[in-house]
Structure 1
Amino acid sequence: MTLSKLAVPKITFSKSIGFRKELNRRVEAYFETENISQRDNLAMYLKTAIICAWVLSAWLFILFVPSSGLVKILGCVVLALGMVAFAFNVGHDANHGSYSSRKWVNSLFGFALDVLGASSYLWRYSHNKLHHTYTNIAEHDFDINGEGLVRLSPDQESRWFYRYQHIYTWLLYGFLQTHWFVEDINVLLLKRKYYNHEIPTPKPADVITFFAFKVFWLAYVIGLPLWLGYTPLQIIVGFVITTVIFSFIVALVFRVAHVVDNAEFITPDPETSNVDDEWAICQVRTTVDFAPKNHFLNWYLGGLNYQVIHHLFPHICHIHYPKLSKIVKEVCDEFEVEYRVNETFAEAIVSNYRLVKALGNS
């Protein structure tokens, strides 16, 4: 056993008290009673077609339709918003296996993240495995890794410049997509781990696919516009507008579900690495829904505003989350587990701001 493996304490959760079992029973009963499928839903396929048409038409318009610079900029904004919908609704569900019951369908649509410059191979480990298993546990949940630039957990080390993080973190959000592209290569070739969790050893096909999509991303983002006669300055402006808007929204949405002042951060026992609670209850404690009555966000965010439901049932397609939230709320009430919700998106953003500022000053 290597030293890196020895350095990773195995986090364990206390024996089940029946909360998760009752949740699963009632959710399964709901799908059986309503006679509907957890995945492979017509509504999801229709949604995918609309989003794909949105992204493709915006991209083709920017490239091929003669128009003024201002209209091109507007096209970049529309494209960025479509890319967000593509990532949240298609790529996110598919990489959780909740898009379809067919593995090959999930794999195919899971490449949505690769098309956007990220790596579905690494995402499935850093997000599905580490974040969903160890939510809000420092040094295990990679989604609260501040890369030494920001402090996102009370269990992380404090630095003097964090006192300004509530100001500069908004600027960092805009670099997420570029960071994905660069850091993925660094992790696969050099680091080979997140924190001290070693990534699964990639097969040759995984490596080929990884780099093929990286080249493809550069080709259609930079190479194709150059070939069509756009100037380097025009390409830079278009890239910055699109990637900053896309990155900002994606980063913000993931932050306001966990890094908020009404979510909890879990600290395992330092000697036993045990968490004195059931895993499913920890998911509710560390996660906060937001804007559940906002019909546009319910559609646009791919169910990520129902983050509690997503963490408890990541294998179920997000179009079912609004109905499942009622079941989860009932079970939470019966087991005296607080189901937290920020009623609006603005409330969630303010809650995130308060926590980030507090963490920077403590």
Structure 2
Amino acid sequence: MKTIKFQESSHEDAFFNEVREKVRAYFRQNGYDGYATRAVWLKGSIYGLASVFLYVLILTGGLPVSWWWLCWIGWGIASLLFGLNIGHDGAHNALSGHKGLNKLLFYLSFNALGASAYLWGLRHVQSHHLFPNVDGCDADIDDTRVLRLSPNRPIYDFHRYQHLYAPFLYLFYSLVWVFYKDFNILNKKRLANLRNIRHPRSEVVAFFLLKALYLYLALIVPLQYSGYTPGQVLAGFILMHFCLSYAFIFGLIGSHFSDEAHFQSLGANGYLPHSWAIHQLITSVDYHAKSPWANLIFGGFNAHSAHHLFPSVSHIHYPAISRIIEEACHKHNIPYKNLTLGEAIRAHFRYLKKMGVDSRAGERMQMS
């Protein structure tokens, strides 16, 4: 694989230098170190305790089955919020200066959802963040024929309907992740830009043990202690994953797979069209980026530009950083859009429709 390089541009470098200096000034003036503040630890504790409380309600039973199933849904959503707000920061060592604590909370939060934290960190931190929206270099662009998510992928006749059938497929997102995708990635020696992958034996052993533990806690224990039938337990588990999938997908997928984002291709010389900073900016989509309420829920995923430019900074600082980015973009005449959640979702489905009917759509998605 050829070495991938970013272009050098004095104009683009001036933009990022200004943003970086203003972010440093923001930290100095407010006495921040870039890590999580008390607010992050507080909401993380609330989400974590809510997850535990709802799981206990599932085990104790005694509720009408419809209310009991709501506890399953709540358990899944609370666990997801803990992962988004605590685990994701931990994956980037942005929670604390103690790397061991970051890893512990990252592994705890993601494996509690049934997903492999180790494998997610591999493809997210070591692949996606380096080359977002670069086909063959970004592991988050799934190698699947069912959905055409990149303008550089082959187009098939059935893709013209993908914007219609995608909502049905999205219901199964977390189930596929937990029971298929992780196993598939574990067996790969090559993943996007990653080559000759050799997983540590300890991580492989932990992978299977944690999968077994998740199945035991999520299915066997409720079946043993709740008093509900196997069918009701299985229905609660599946319903939880359906709602978890939708919450994850519709909150996050518009961050890159959007007609507001750009997909870039390597030139013959191995260079991408822009500098590192501009590449991160134009391949990301923000929504409610300056809202503290959106930050409270989505853990900074809504401020994706700030996250990609400053991944080692806790998401609690992203609303302030997003203001700095927006001002600098206007000053340097660089495109920046901050959508609403509804606009981001619509942009995603417009993108799916374009990818399904026009093999040349990628040409318009390039930014020259």
Q: What TM-score do the two structures reach when normalised by structure 1? A: 0.92
Question: How far did residue 227 of structure 1 move?
Answer: 2.1
Does 2:100 align with 1:127? no
Does 2:59 align with 1:73? no
Q: Mean alpha-carbon deviation: is it higher for 16-25 or for 138-147?
A: 16-25
Q: Which amino acid aligns with 1:361?
A: V
Q: For residue 95 of structure 1, what is the aligned residue in structure 2? A: 91
* Superposition pairs of residues 1-362 of structure 1, within 5 angstroms: 8-15=1-8, 17=10, 18=13, 19-111=15-107, 112-145=109-142, 147-181=144-178, 182-188=180-186, 190-195=187-192, 197-198=194-195, 200-228=197-225, 229-269=227-267, 271-292=268-289, 295-342=292-339, 344-362=340-358
Question: How far did residue 246 of structure 1 move?
Answer: 0.6
Q: Which amino acid aligns with 1:137?
A: V
Q: Mean alpha-carbon deviation: is it higher for 115-124 or for 292-301?
A: 292-301
Instruction: For structure 1, list consecutive stretches of 5 or more residues without a partner in the other structure.
Output: 1-7
Q: What TM-score do the two structures reach when normalised by structure 2? A: 0.91
Question: How far did residue 43 of structure 1 move?
Answer: 1.3
Question: How far did residue 331 of structure 1 move?
Answer: 2.2
Question: How far did residue 193 of structure 1 move?
Answer: 2.7
Question: How far did residue 212 of structure 1 move?
Answer: 1.9
Alpha-carbon spacing, 1:196–1:267, altered in 2? closer, same or farther (3 Å): closer
Question: How far did residue 198 of structure 1 move?
Answer: 2.8
Question: How far did residue 113 of structure 1 move?
Answer: 0.7
- Cα distance in 2 for partners of 1:102, 1:195 equals 30
CA contact (8 A) 2:188 2:197 kept: no
Q: Mean alpha-carbon deviation: is it higher for 275-284 or for 8-17?
A: 8-17
Alpha-carbon spacing, 1:192–1:184, altered in 2? closer, same or farther (3 Å): farther
- Cα distance in 2 for partners of 1:51, 1:115 equals 13
- Cα distance in 2 for partners of 1:201, 1:360 equals 36
Q: Mean alpha-carbon deviation: is it higher for 333-342 or for 44-53?
A: 333-342
Q: Quote the sequence identity (%).
A: 32
Instruction: For structure 2, list consecutive stretches of 5 or more residues without a partner in the other structure.
Output: 359-368
Q: Which amino acid aligns with 1:56?
A: V
- CA deviations over 1:238-266 (Å, ceiling 9, x no partner): 01110111112212222111111111111
Question: How far did residue 186 of structure 1 move?
Answer: 2.4
Question: How far did residue 174 of structure 1 move?
Answer: 1.8
Alpha-carbon spacing, 1:106–1:199, altered in 2? closer, same or farther (3 Å): farther
Q: Which amino acid aligns with 1:305?
A: N
- Cα distance in 2 for partners of 1:175, 1:34 equals 43
- CA deviations over 1:63-107 (Å, ceiling 9, x no partner): 214110111122122222212211211111111111111101101
CA contact (8 A) 1:303 1:318 kept: yes
CA contact (8 A) 1:260 1:353 kept: yes
CA contact (8 A) 2:83 2:106 kept: no
Q: Mean alpha-carbon deviation: is it higher for 283-292 or for 302-311?
A: 283-292
The number of equivalent residue pairs is: 352
Question: How far did residue 288 of structure 1 move?
Answer: 1.3
- CA deviations over 1:261-314 (Å, ceiling 9, x no partner): 111111111x22211210110111111101236553221110111111111111
- CA deviations over 1:119-173 (Å, ceiling 9, x no partner): 1211112111221111111122122225221011211111111011001111121
Q: For residue 5 of structure 1, what is the aligned residue in structure 2? A: none
- Cα distance in 2 for partners of 1:232, 1:359 equals 42
Q: Which amino acid aligns with 1:187?
A: I
Q: For residue 3 of structure 1, what is the aligned residue in structure 2? A: none
Q: Which amino acid aligns with 2:41?
A: Y
Q: Which amino acid aligns with 1:259?
A: F
- Cα distance in 2 for partners of 1:45, 1:196 equals 34
CA contact (8 A) 2:286 2:337 kept: yes
Question: How far did residue 196 of structure 1 move?
Answer: 6.1
Superposed structure 1 runs of 4+ greater than 6 Å apart: none
Alpha-carbon spacing, 1:199–1:314, altered in 2? closer, same or farther (3 Å): farther
CA contact (8 A) 1:287 1:340 kept: no
Q: For residue 4 of structure 1, what is the aligned residue in structure 2? A: none
Q: Mean alpha-carbon deviation: is it higher for 246-255 or for 43-52?
A: 246-255
- Cα distance in 2 for partners of 1:311, 1:98 equals 13
CA contact (8 A) 1:12 1:275 kept: yes
Q: Which amino acid aligns with 2:285?
A: V
Please tell me the root mean square deviation across aligned C-alpha atoms, in Å: 1.7
- Cα distance in 2 for partners of 1:302, 1:316 equals 12
Q: Which amino acid aligns with 1:192?
A: K
